[in-house]
Copies of this chain bind each other. A is one copy, B any other.
């Protein structure tokens, strides 16, 4: 249904200050066609001249396209252009951002075949060489600890939290996640842990502090490692937690538990076998391993906007692809848990904190950045909610290891 209302924006032309031009019949037809293809979701699309496409009286949200050029770009590269236009404020969302994006995701899932929108589904999987990994990690994690402190929890845990109770706060849920990972690893005092990709060190410090283990924790981010070392020193844990600024491929030594929380997304599927070899090299015969990663039900790249602006080189594997880590190394997968709705909530909690701090973010960066990260946090939450992304925790051990508990009750005891 296309209806006409008053122009919504005085800046509807392609150049600032130009008078609004009316939308063309072809433009309206394209949007109407798109709206049909995505199954007429409960959203409205509003054009720069006030034209409304969408047939619900009370839509979940409205996507307002403020300039004709946005529409042209959406034709060529829909996801990338959507993100760019949102960051540039040439496309805005009215209504709850996460829920509107969920509704759009569900619609897109209906038409998301490899034939549709080839740019979105291009099977370009980035190769993460040593140098590229370093550069890409720098892009995201070194934009400033102060920035992340504005909206992460106090321990700076930048991975999926675990809401053991419905009413848990983000702080509680992150601590619960750290404990849950330690429980799944069955850490015993005196054991040696190797962590691949340790962020600001929260898990490594938590393990040393509460489980009596020693930890070697690897990370490519200079800023994160410096911060983690400060924390270890301040807590008197420097002798039990060593933070190593290096690539996971250079991990050496021996460990009773191998853990990686939120690093696999930056490894790239071409290197999963290498990661498996690294683990095979360092894990003792009775050792346990846990890999926690964003995942997919079926192999496909992350959307091009996220890969371009947020996480260069990132990739969320399917369970099938993750098996590359375990199969050649002679490991048995013991346990897989999908925590996607925990990540949906984690991102929503991050977004809520972020929204209260946008003035400070704007002072650090600019309006474009503020909107870009708003979209990143909201769309991440939405993508977990709509079931397009998963969060897999995989526990594994060597195939012949018969020393582990055989029930979950015993395992968690």
- Residues of A at the B interface (CB closer than 8 Å) are 106, 109, 162-164, 297-298, 318-320, 323, 326-328, 330-342, 385-388, 390, 398-402, 406-409
- The answer to whether A338 and B335 touch across the interface, beta carbons within 8 angstroms, is yes
- The answer to whether B342 and A327 touch across the interface, beta carbons within 8 angstroms, is no
Contact status of A399 and B388, CB under 8 A, knowing A297-B326, A320-B320: yes
In the bound complex, CA of A327 to CA of B407 (Å): 28
**In angstroms, how far is the closest chain B Cβ from the Cβ of A323?**
4
Which chain B positions have C-beta within 8 A of A401? 387
Given contacts A333-B390, A337-B408, A408-B408, 7 further A-B contacts (CB under 8 A): A162-B407, A297-B326, A297-B333, A298-B327, A320-B323, A335-B337, A387-B401
- The answer to whether B335 and A387 touch across the interface, beta carbons within 8 angstroms, is no
- The answer to whether B332 and A335 touch across the interface, beta carbons within 8 angstroms, is no
Which chain B positions have C-beta within 8 A of A328? 298
Partner of A330, one of B162, B297, B323, B398: B297
In the bound complex, CA of A327 to CA of B169 (Å): 34
Contact status of A336 and B336, CB under 8 A, knowing A318-B323, A320-B320, A399-B387: yes
Q: How many protomers of this protein does the assembly include?
A: 2
Which chain B positions have C-beta within 8 A of A340? 332
Which chain B positions have C-beta within 8 A of A399? 109, 297, 387-388
**In angstroms, how far is the closest chain B Cβ from the Cβ of A346?**
12
Contact status of A387 and B400, CB under 8 A, knowing A319-B333, A336-B335, A338-B334: yes
With both beta carbons as reference points, the residue of chain B lying nearest to A344 in the complex is identified as B402
In the bound complex, CA of A335 to CA of B333 (Å): 12
List of 8 A-B pairs having minimum Cβ-Cβ separation, nearest first: A387-B399, A336-B336, A320-B323, A387-B400, A298-B327, A334-B338, A341-B406, A320-B320
Partner of A400, one of B106, B162, B326, B338: B106
Which chain B positions have C-beta within 8 A of A341? 402, 406
With both beta carbons as reference points, the residue of chain B lying nearest to A400 in the complex is identified as B387
5 residue pairs bridging A and B, Cβ less than 8 Å apart: A164-B407, A297-B327, A318-B323, A332-B390, A334-B338
- The answer to whether B333 and A336 touch across the interface, beta carbons within 8 angstroms, is yes
In the bound complex, CA of A320 to CA of B299 (Å): 12
With both beta carbons as reference points, the residue of chain B lying nearest to A326 in the complex is identified as B297
In the bound complex, CA of A340 to CA of B401 (Å): 11
In the bound complex, CA of A337 to CA of B409 (Å): 13
In the bound complex, CA of A337 to CA of B297 (Å): 18
In the bound complex, CA of A164 to CA of B109 (Å): 41
Which chain B positions have C-beta within 8 A of A333? 297, 319, 336, 338, 390
**In angstroms, how far is the closest chain B Cβ from the Cβ of A413?**
13
**In angstroms, how far is the closest chain B Cβ from the Cβ of A245?**
34
Which chain B positions have C-beta within 8 A of A338? 332-335
**In angstroms, how far is the closest chain B Cβ from the Cβ of A289?**
13
- The answer to whether A327 and B332 touch across the interface, beta carbons within 8 angstroms, is no
In the bound complex, CA of A409 to CA of B323 (Å): 27
Which chain B positions have C-beta within 8 A of A342? 406
Contact status of A339 and B406, CB under 8 A, knowing A327-B320, A387-B400: yes
